[in-house]
Amino acid sequence: MTAVQFVVNEVFDIPTRGGLIAVGSTANGEFVGVPRLRDDASGHFVHVLGVDHPTPRTQRTGETILVVDRADAAYVTPGRLWVVDER
């Protein structure tokens, strides 16, 4: 079985939010709850704080919004591939 993947499309750093906002696309399924993700290139675990509510844009495009710990900023860049870790 292939793991669910998340490709970061856009990143927003809104100071009043608790973390970075990563907007992206999923492949091979959907998230159930808050996913445990690791960066595919480095193996680094990306600390997801939550899944945000859909916006009109994300409902139209099918994208997902994740709130990610700012400590992981080096791994929260457009084009990054994250994979669900099912351990």
Q: For 3-53, how does the pLDDT look when each residue is reduced to its tens digit (9 = 90+)? A: 899 999 999 999 999 999 999 999 998 887 888 999 999 999 999 999 998
Give pLDDT tens digits for 46-82. Answer: 999 999 988 999 999 999 999 999 999 999 999 999 9
Greatest alpha-carbon span in the chain: 39
pLDDT by residue (tens digit) across 25-37?
999 988 878 889 9
> pLDDT value at position 8?
98
Nearest Cα to 48, choosing from 75, 87, 15, 10? Answer: 75
* Residues 67/21, Cβ–Cβ less than 8 Å: yes
The pLDDT score that the predictor gives to residue 31 is: 82
The residues, any chain, with a CB within 8 Å of residue 85's CB and separated by 6 or more, are: 3, 36, 37, 38, 45
